[in-house]
Amino acid sequence: MSRGDGRVFRRSGTRYWWMGYYVHGLHEQRSTRETDERRAKRVLKQRIAEVRAQVYNPIPRKLVLEDLLSLIKEDYAANRRRSVATLGFQCRHLLDYFGATCRTSEITTLKLDQYVATRRDAAAAASSIRGELSHLSRAFKLALRARLVAPSQVPYIPQVKPDPSRVRRGFLTSAELDRVCRLLDPDSADFVRFLFFSAWRPGEARNLEWRDYDRSGPAFRLRGEATKTGQPRLLPVAGQLRAIIERRLRHRRPDCRYVFHRHGRRIGRFRAAWRQACEEAGVGRRLFHDLRRSGIKNLVESGVDQRRAMAISGHRTVSTFHRYQIADLSSLREAMEMASVRAAPPNVGQEQLRRRRAR
């Protein structure tokens, strides 16, 4: 029986026909108060119409956690959220701690505080705990909107502050990038250089196809379904990117639609080769995502304003974009020199300014 549909059936020991149907993703059963099957089906048809018109108030029931989380799954599916596939994985700790049959009335603020403490003892990252509580908060809001719970039954969801020590701060300079790319195969090196100079996510670059390439620009017009945010993006092919794409054009194959491929197959993950190249290049342990961070840093330090840098990298919020701006020692030293020139006497300041421009 699918959502919005229903059926009539007989219960043992009763003379009436019963009907079963779904309301807000939850199954409900009621007596039709009819002894004739055809009249019972008419009652069911009328009830389904009321449910679809959202004029029917469901039976007050004692929700359990499993029902609560099913509401957010239904919401994600209705809004075509890509993370619906990983929602169960993200909510598994809530189900393991409270239990699938735990009543929502038993999920209190005190127990949520204890849940946070238990997750911290298990060395869970603050961002993971924040995500789990965010799903729970969203589920309660959906239940409240569907009038499945009363406002007094919604607990206060504790706020978990992000841990600044868990934020990645690794990045690569252009010189370090060259050393690493020399130790990789040509296809992987082109992929790594593209990630650095475009500041794109690895998954977006892997899914890049030649149909996204506009030779007249030249530019890439990335489709919305190929991006994490679902928003289309425009990337002009200029500077270092032009040389990369020209090499990829020479290696283009008629049997492969992807820009970055190895022997006709879309380039995948090469963590072992990447880790070995970083070690031999003397840059230490670096993550693939550090290329995105390094690319954004390179854009900002090259004088690109924030609006255009966000348009290139695909960031939608300023707060997330600012997390990627990592200042290294050289950029901080340059800032201190600029401040010193401004505070110095006129003659000394002008001399330092001329030396800086000469470099």
Cα–chain-centroid distance for residue 330? 32
| pLDDT at residue number 96 | 92
Q: Which residue has the tokens 């031999």?
A: 280
The confidence score (pLDDT) of residue 2 equals: 40
Pick from 115, 149, 166: which residue ends a domain? 166
Domain identity same for 194 and 309: yes
Identify which of 185, 206, 186 has the alpha carbon closest to the alpha carbon of residue 250: 186
Strands 219-222 and 265-266: unpaired
- Spatial contact of 112 and 97, defined as CB atoms under 8 Å apart: no
Contact yes or no for 98/65 (Cβ under 8 A): yes
Contact criterion met (CB below 8 Å) for 148 and 26:
yes
The total number of structural domains that make up the chain: 4
Q: Mean pLDDT for the chain?
A: 84
- Looking up residue 84, the CATH number of its domain turns out to be 1.10.150.130
300-330 b/e (C-beta count within 10 Å ≥ 16 → b): beeeeeeeebbebbbbeeeeebeebebeeee
Whether 59 is covered by a domain: the verdict is no
Q: Which domain holds residue 348?
A: 329-358
Among 166, 201, 222, where does a domain finish?
A: 166
Q: Is the pLDDT of residue 233 over 90?
A: no
Contacts 24+ apart (CB under 8 A), 276-282: 276/183, 277/180, 277/181, 277/183, 277/184, 278/180, 280/183, 281/176, 281/179, 281/180, 281/182, 281/183, 282/179
115 and 182 share a domain?
no
pLDDT tens profile 132-190: 999 999 999 998 888 788 788 889 999 888 766 655 667 888 899 999 999 999 999 99
- The answer to whether residue 58 sits within a structural domain is no
Domain co-membership, 186 together with 242: yes
What is residue 4's predicted lDDT score, i.e. its pLDDT?
47
Q: Are strands 219-222 and 233-236 parallel, antiparallel or unpaired?
A: antiparallel
Residues 156 and 201 in one domain: no
pLDDT > 80? residue 297: yes
